[in-house]
Structure formats: structure tokens, C-alpha cells
Chain A
């Protein structure tokens, strides 16, 4: 993998920050424009996969190790379900975001949506990366 020319590697390095920025934009702008947690997670994972394709699997595993990625998978689902539990603790139904803001339920909706989209994004990002690690880790060699 490290036999690629420097043009590919430098080109990827220039692209990766913008791919990550786009992912964060899609993640936190999902209320207003197209996108959301799922797409953002996939795009964020694509940045890491591009890094792995150009700089090698070993370098990518140093940036984010497989065990951390596996923990992030659980963290996202827990965050999503935790928002539901929190809304129950505050007196609403499961995943009823309106209770997060007593003055204006629509603000509570925004808070809830932001958090659950973050949970979806973290899980999808970590799942894509974990699947990639598992496939790439067993080459024919």
C-alpha cells in the first residue's frame, strides 16, 4: 500500500480535511438541509478509508485503533437510547424530545434531534470503519 506515488498521497491529504468538514456540516446541519447522522457517519468514515487506502492500514489504526472504533459503535446506540431514557426521566414518553425545554417544546425537539443524530452518526462511522478494518485486515498474503 505504501508504494503509491506521492501525488496520490498528497492529493488525499489535501482532500481529507474537507471531507471531514463536509461530514460535520452534514451532521449538524441535518435539521436545515439534506443529510443527517447516517450520511455524516458514512462520509466521516470515508475520510479515514481514503487515508487507509493511500497511507496504509497501519497508519490508520494508529489514528483510531480498532478497539476504540468498536467502543464507539456501542457509544452511539447508547447515546440514542439514553436520550429516550432521559426524556422518560424528565416526565415524557420514550424519545419525546419536547420535554427537554419547558418553555418551548420545539427547542426541546431541536436538542433531541441533535443528540440522536449524533448517536446515529457515531455508530455509523464506527461501524463502517470496523467493517473496513475487518475486511482489510485479512489480505491474501
Chain B
């Protein structure tokens, strides 16, 4: 029964119909995708829910004696016994609330002059048809346009002249002139009126309209180009933006109190930043450091570096909102070379 269902399934029929080459491609694509997902990891679609559970550190129970200090030998012996006792107390210490360890490509618009001729010719017919429907209006327009005949800009004329010369246009002209001649009932042409001039004017009007469109298109293309250029600029943070961030972070980087810092000590941390320019909880991590973990100042020095991004004075971070992609991940190197004077 299951086999039958599988056979009827569209997906399986599609897979069966696929050629061996395309099938192989799809399989390799899916496998590569899976491999990539394993290697790189899935992007964070959902924010992790922050859980505020403090690190549980056990409490050491220490007896403080009345007498100040004990000679070393006895102290050492006692320390061993105390350690054992502490270990025992840790095991059984469950009282109260003690916490235990278990506790774009820039496409320049190619303005081809030929395109304009192609566009104008078919449109003419359409417009004329409209004009046939409303002849009076047309006349008025023509008259008004006749009056303003001298107005058509010189810019348009040279564009139109070569168009008239084309064979197809001449044919069109004839056709349209015939149509107008037949349809117009008892036209009272004015002495200066001519079909050719009317067509000229219409073409001028049309061409002016198309030119306007073109100009608009050009403008929009230009603005698009500008935007693209701006976007390109946006692909990197400006020096002043980085300086502003650096200045802010420096004020939040409180040098580790009292720690002995040796020249050349470096701590590199990374963090993920939210779009609201706040650091993601628990995302601050040490990427690299040349301080040995056995160094008693390892903790204070690295903690002071990590604390910088969590300092309330650095929330929100002074970063440009529109360039989120550039700063969603941040790596900060704390160079202690100049901090030596603090010890």
C-alpha cells in the first residue's frame, strides 16, 4: 500500500522522469548544501531566549579563629585537613538557598537612438485612433499647437528628421493621412494648416512625451546609479565612523584595576551585535590572547576587555544604523602596549 502511495506521489514521479545528469546535479547540490550547513552553521533565524542564571559558585565555609596567625608548618598541615573538610561540607551542604557547584553591477543605460524611432512609430497609430474618436478636441489641440508650433524645441527636430526619411514611416504617414482625410467630416482647415505639419506636431507632441518619459527614466536611472554608488560607499565604514566607535569603546574600557600588565599583552574579543546596536547576550567571546591562563592576572585582564562591550555607557554602540551588515559581527583587539604605566 505504501509503495503504491509513493508511486503516486508527484515528487517521486518527477524524480523518476528526471535525466541521470540533472538528477546527479540536484543530488550533489543538496549534499553540498548539507555539508556547508554542517561546516558553517545555520544563520540565527530566531534569537535565543536569554536565561538569567548566574554562574553557580559554591561557598567555602571558613572558620575564623580568634588568634591572628599560625606558624607555617602547622598551617600547612591544617590546610590539608581543612581542604578535606571543605570537600565534605560541599557534598552535604544543601541548606537554604546556597548555590552549590552541582550546583550591482553598474549597468549604464544604453540609450540607443534607434529605440526611439521604434517606439514612436507604433504609438502614432494608437494616438491617431484616439483622435479619431474626438476630432473636435483634436482640432483644438492642433490649433493650439499650431499656434505654438514655433515652440517645439530645437532639440527634438533633429531627432525627428531622420525618422521621416525612413521608408516605414513614410508608409505610415501615407496611411494615417488617408485615414484622417476619410474620417474628418467637412473639415474647415485654416489657411496655414497642413496634415504634414499636424503629423509633425503630433509627432513632436508624442516625441516630447516620450522624451519626458525618457528623461524621467534617465533621471531614475541616474538616481539609481547614485544610490548604487552610495551603497558602494556604504560597503565600508568611514574613518570618522570608526573613530567615533573607537572613542566610545575607549571610554568604556576600564583598565583592570591593579593588574600587572606587561608590554605587548593583547586580548582579542568578538561579539554579535543586534540591529538596535546592543550586544547579543552571551555573544562576547575571547578569540585570541597571548596571556597565559596561569598568569594570575589573566582573569582580570580578559574580563576587563569583555566588560567593555557590556558597559552601560557603550549601549547603544555608536554605529551607523544603515550599515548593519558591516558591523553585525565585531572583533576588538585590546592592545595593552601603552597601558604599562598602570602597574
The finding on whether chains A and B are genuine partners in a shared complex, rather than unrelated, reads no
Residues of A within 8 A of B (CB): none
